[in-house]
Amino acid sequence: MASLGAAEATHLRLQALARYAGARSGDSRVVDNRVNQVVLVVEGAVKLIASVSGGRTHVMGFYFKDDFIYLPARETHAYNLCALKDCELIAFPATEFIRLAQNDRALNNNFISHLLRTLGRSREKTIALGQKTARERVATFLVSMAERIGSPFSNGALLDLPMSRRDIGENIGLTIETVSRQMTELRNAGLVSTSGRSQVKILDLAALKQEAGHFPVLT
Amino acid sequence: MASLGAAEATHLRLQALARYAGARSGDSRVVDNRVNQVVLVVEGAVKLIASVSGGRTHVMGFYFKDDFIYLPARETHAYNLCALKDCELIAFPATEFIRLAQNDRALNNNFISHLLRTLGRSREKTIALGQKTARERVATFLVSMAERIGSPFSNGALLDLPMSRRDIGENIGLTIETVSRQMTELRNAGLVSTSGRSQVKILDLAALKQEAGHFPVLT
DNA sequence: CGGTCACTTGAGGTAGTTCAAGGGGCGTGG
DNA sequence: CCACGCCCCTTGAACTACCTCAAGTGACCG
């Protein structure tokens, strides 16, 4: 909760509001979505999924330690959080959270800049899905993950991806097969190497960014 | 500026901050994008475009009277507002705007709920671009426009679209030809009729929503 | 060590793009 | 008011990126 940057006084009130939620890897509907929620990831990794008509589902994004999620109440279609690993989360009902934030400049500012960042990422992603080829999307995804959960490594990064190929595909609007093929091509091109299902080593981050079409953060 | 819902006291300060901008139809770079801006559309219609690598450009959205736009400063790629008709706009530097809003509960709340709505729409659009077919996208676009600038008409709506087919295509991630073909198919299916370049009559809104895949507002 | 399930690879199909050629609005000038 | 011309839009035909369907392969778990 420290990462919310609230003052001491607000802190206590936030605690009164908070719903702690633990989750095991694979759990879905981790947080109550009957009202808008602000969710903080204390530990672990989650995906935000949207269930859409026709049984389709779209992965809106992936979130990791210290990330901050705005989870809208179910409406025309349902948003839900699913755990990708064992997780610790804290959820606040959005309305009360916002009201509280108004009494605390730092928290209010934090919340607003979080929203702006989220909006920025969402717009980037819109562009990606509207304009990019499969190759560019996969490259963009990897670059983004490198920036968010990668450990630096020579002139690249080391990644341990907690999500499946299916999750990746549903996130960037491709089928699982296409994701797989693009990964293979990137491997053949010498840009990445993989071991096991989840370990990815980015060998040349600059070149990968080139492949990504110079776009910034996705997800 | 009334639509900002600020109290009297804040009003004066907002006026001090405001940059009024008139624009003629077709004008681009209507608002200074060297700093983040909050822009209010007083009159007219604008598009928010993102210029991306490879000379590609994506139309992030269309905005009309009383709409509220968050225009990020140019960064990895440049966002710009272009006038689709003659316009009157008011721009506020975002940082100062947010600071001011903190002293005015109503304004702060309005701003936050605007951001949440924008984020919601952006997410909807992400889903649309990630999952929908050309037919669904065009239908979704028309439904959205009907809700935003349509005048009711029997069991449909009357539309006067200020944007070109190219703009539409760049907004929903299709080529101009595909947009055109889908429009003719919708016409042949008896869901819409058109006259001239910009007049669209939606004959059966319910059926069009069906075509759209039950999705809510796009753009 | 053996089974399951995720991932990979291949072959064929299709939605949408690309390239190219006509119509037809709509503004302009007579 | 009508004629002219530009440019947007429409339509057609060929192509291609991605999807779909199907069959391996190998990672991870018991």
Q: Is B126 on the interface with A (CB under 8 A)?
A: yes
Q: What is the pLDDT of residues A109-147, one digit of tens each?
A: 999 999 999 999 999 999 999 999 999 999 999 999 999
Which of the nucleotides lies closest to B181 (Cα–C1')? D10
**B51, B78 Cβ separation under 8 angstroms:** yes
Average pLDDT over every residue of A75-100: 93
If asked whether residues A10 and A103 sit together in one domain, one would say: yes
In this structure, is residue B12 part of a structural domain? yes
Residues A110 and A140 in one domain: no
Whole-number average pLDDT of chain A? 92
What are the DSSP E strand ranges found in B72-212?
Answer: 78-83, 87-93, 151-153, 156-160, 192-195, 199-202
- Domain boundary among the residues A64, A91, A121 is at A121
Cβ–Cβ of A54/B129 closer than 8 Å?
no
Strands (E), B98-191: 151-153, 156-160
CA atoms within 13 A on the CB side of B207: 12
Is the pLDDT confidence value at A7 over 90?
no
- The stretch A18-39 carries a mean pLDDT of 94
Distance B201 CA to C24 C1' (A): 19
Spell out which residues of chain A touch residue B111, defining contact as CB-CB under 8 Å: 112
**Is residue A184 in some structural domain?**
yes
Q: Is the pLDDT of residue A65 over 60?
A: yes
Together in a domain, A81 and A156:
no
In this structure, the answer to whether residues B94 and B188 fall within a common structural domain is no
Question: What CATH number is attached to the domain comprising A17?
Answer: 2.60.120.10
Instruction: Report the interhelical angle of B94-101 vs B105-131 (nearest 10°).
Output: 130
CA dist B121 and B123 (Å) reads 5
Q: Is residue B219 part of a domain?
A: no
| pLDDT by position in tens, chain B (length 219) | 667 878 788 888 889 999 999 999 999 888 999 999 999 999 999 999 998 877 789 999 999 999 989 999 988 778 999 999 999 999 999 999 999 998 899 999 999 999 999 999 999 999 999 999 999 999 999 999 999 999 999 999 999 999 999 999 999 999 999 999 999 999 999 999 999 999 999 999 999 999 998 544 444
- Predicted confidence at residue A216, as pLDDT, reads 40
* Residue with tokens 């209507």, as numbered in its chain: B30
Range of the domain at A8: 2-121
D8 C1' to B165 CA distance, Å: 9
Per the structure, the count of domains in chain A is 2
pLDDT for residue B2: 65
- The mean pLDDT of A27-38, rounded to a whole number, is 93
Question: Shortest CA distance to A216 belongs to which of B49, B78, B129?
Answer: B78
C-alpha pair distances (Å), B2 with each of A72, B67, B97, B107, B118: 28, 12, 15, 11, 20
A94 and A116 inside one domain? yes
B10 touches B102 (CB < 8 A): no
pLDDT digits 0-9 by tens, A166-188: 999 999 999 999 999 999 999 99
A 10 A CB-CB count for A101 gives 24
Q: What is the CA radius of gyration of chain B?
A: 18
Domain assignment of residue B52, yes or no: yes
B95 part of a folded domain: yes
Query: Domain boundary at B123, B143, B178, which?
Result: B123
For residue B164, being part of any structural domain is answered with yes
Verify that B114 and B137 share a domain, yes or no: no
Indicate whether B92 and B151 sit together in one domain. Answer: no
Asked if B14 and B119 sit in the same domain, the reply is yes
Residue A219 counted as domain residue: no
Decide if pLDDT at A9 tops 70. yes
Query: Do A11 and A93 share a domain, yes or no?
Result: yes
Same domain, B79 and B146: no
The CA distance from B104 to the nearest CA of chain A, in Å, is 10
Per residue in A33-60, pLDDT tens?
999 999 999 999 999 999 887 778 999 9
pLDDT for residue B56:
85
If asked whether residues B101 and B196 sit together in one domain, one would say no
Chain A interface includes B216 (CB < 8 A): yes
Q: For residue range A186-202, list pLDDT tens digits in order.
A: 999 999 999 999 999 99
The verdict on residue B69 lying in a domain is yes
Average pLDDT score over residue span A17-26: 94
Residues of A with CB below 8 A from B102's CB?
102, 105, 108-109
Of A88, A121, A154, the position where a domain reaches its end is A121
Q: A120: which chain B residues are within 8 Å (Cβ-Cβ)? A: 72
Q: What is the identity of the amino acid at A167?
A: D
pLDDT of B217 reads 40
Same structural domain for residues B99 and B141?
Answer: no
CA distance A52 to chain B (A): 8
Q: For the domain that residue A176 is a member of, what is the CATH number?
A: 1.10.10.10
Tell whether B130 lies on the interface with A, counting CB pairs under 8 A: yes
pLDDT number for residue B219? 47
Query: Which of these ranges, A104-108, A205-209, A215-219, B49-53, has the smallest mean pLDDT?
Result: A215-219
